[in-house]
């Protein structure tokens, strides 16, 4: 186990109406639904779209939503928000293999640990992301030409936050859930553009964080409220505790949608 590489992947499920796309024809990528017009589908029926970012060894799972792309229904993964997810999960494979899962109609985010005998142990239900001085800053190149981003990072350093940065969003966000504290940021600038995709990466982790009792933000709103207009939509993002998200929004934009009595932005 100790020689295994660290592999991380977020997974999300979106609930959308459809009557003819069943499990059987989802597993047959060349078979299309009988009707190619989304509006023709009865609205009382539902289907799960499986969307994930993964590694080549697991690419077979991506075929679950290929029939929709082949049948001209690509636009039906747009016009939605992260609130329409019914489940999200992320896995970390390595010396300690874990799986974190959230379901829309069940409280909390649940952590599972893979035991040596091949069984999964339900470790804990995560329902609170509290305050704590731990930060994971992504896209630090943005500090070069985004003074507000530089101000935010300077605040973390000046206040002696503990740096916990693995270079990947999934493990960095996972530790916020596991340790129940901290902040992850990935801020953009004129030269350091957004790289994280809303549909495939940002929204699933936002779902996990918010179900765990934390908050997410693109600077002005929860990432779960941001409408997907294009499959390749990209955005800046922050995940963490309430006060950390308030600080993120106030520092970057001067105010926060989350109500507090006193500003907590990174002062000069």
Helix 242-253 × helix 147-158 angle, to 10° = 140
Provide mean pLDDT across the span 68-76.
50
Tokens standing for residue 133: 């001085």
Average pLDDT over residues 28-35: 40
Place of tokens 């009557």: 19
pLDDT cut 90: percent of the chain above it: 51
- Please give the pLDDT value at position 62: 23
CA dihedral (130, 133, 138, 143) positive or negative: positive
- Provide DSSP, 165-191: --SSHHHHHHHHHHHTEEEEEE---SS
Average pLDDT over residues 120-145: 95
Confidence of residue 208 (pLDDT cuts 50, 70, 90): very high
pLDDT attached to residue 33: 44
Confidence of residue 114 (pLDDT cuts 50, 70, 90): very high
- CB of 135 within 8 A of CB of 162? yes
Is the pLDDT at 197 greater than 80, yes or no? yes
**Residue that is written with structure tokens 């109406």 in the block:** 17
Task: Return the percent helix, strand and coil in the chain, to nearest 5.
Answer: 30, 30, 40
> Does residue 2 register a pLDDT over 50?
no
Q: Do the Cβ atoms of 240 and 182 come closer than 8 Å?
A: yes
267 CB-near residues (< 8 Å, 6+ apart): 155
Q: List all residues 6 or more positions away from 19 whose beta carbon is below 8 Å from its beta carbon.
A: 41, 42, 45
pTM over 0.85: no
DSSP letter assigned to residue 73: -
17 has a pLDDT exceeding 90: no
Q: Which of 70, 67, 244, 261 is nearest to 159 (CA)?
A: 244
How would residue 48 be classed by pLDDT, with cut points 50, 70 and 90?
very low
Return the higher-pLDDT residue of 263 and 193: 193
- Residue in the block written with tokens 């974190």: 100
Asked if residue 74 has pLDDT above 70, the reply is no
pLDDT value of residue 176: 96
The per-residue pLDDT for 112 is 92
Residues ≥6 apart with Cβ < 8 Å to 153:
137, 140, 143
Per-chain mean pLDDT for the chain: 76
3-class DSSP state of 1? coil
Q: Bin 214: left if φ > 0, else alpha if -120 < ψ < 50, else beta.
A: beta
């Amino acid at each position: 186990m100790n020689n295994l590489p660290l592999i991380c992947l977020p997974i999300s499920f979106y609930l959308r109406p459809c009557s003819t796309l069943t499990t059987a024809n989802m597993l047959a990528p060349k078979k299309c639904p009988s009707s190619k017009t989304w509006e023709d589908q009865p609205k009382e029926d539902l289907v799960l779209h499986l969307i994930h970012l993964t590694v080549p060894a697991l690419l077979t799972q991506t075929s679950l939503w290929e029939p929709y792309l082949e049948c001209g229904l690509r636009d039906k993964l747009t016009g939605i928000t992260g609130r329409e997810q019914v489940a999200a999960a992320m896995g970390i494979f390595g010396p300690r293999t874990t799986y974190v899962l959230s379901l829309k109609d069940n409280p909390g985010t649940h952590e599972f640990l893979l035991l040596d005998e091949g069984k999964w142990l339900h470790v804990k239900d995560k329902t609170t992301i509290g305050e704590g001085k731990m930060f994971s800053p992504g896209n630090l190149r943005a500090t070069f030409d985004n003074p507000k981003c530089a101000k935010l990072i300077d605040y973390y350093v000046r206040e002696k936050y503990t740096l916990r940065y693995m270079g990947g969003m999934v493990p960095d966000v996972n530790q916020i859930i596991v340790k129940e504290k901290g902040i992850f940021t990935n801020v953009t600038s004129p030269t350091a553009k957004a790289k994280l995709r809303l549909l495939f990466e940002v929204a699933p982790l936002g779902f996990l964080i918010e179900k765990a009792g934390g908050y997410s933000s693109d600077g002005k709103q929860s990432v779960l409220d941001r409408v997907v207009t294009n499959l390749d939509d990209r955005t800046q993002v922050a995940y963490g505790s309430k006060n950390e998200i308030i600080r993120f929004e106030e520092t970057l934009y001067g105010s926060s949608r989350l109500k507090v009595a006193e500003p907590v932005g990174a002062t000069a």
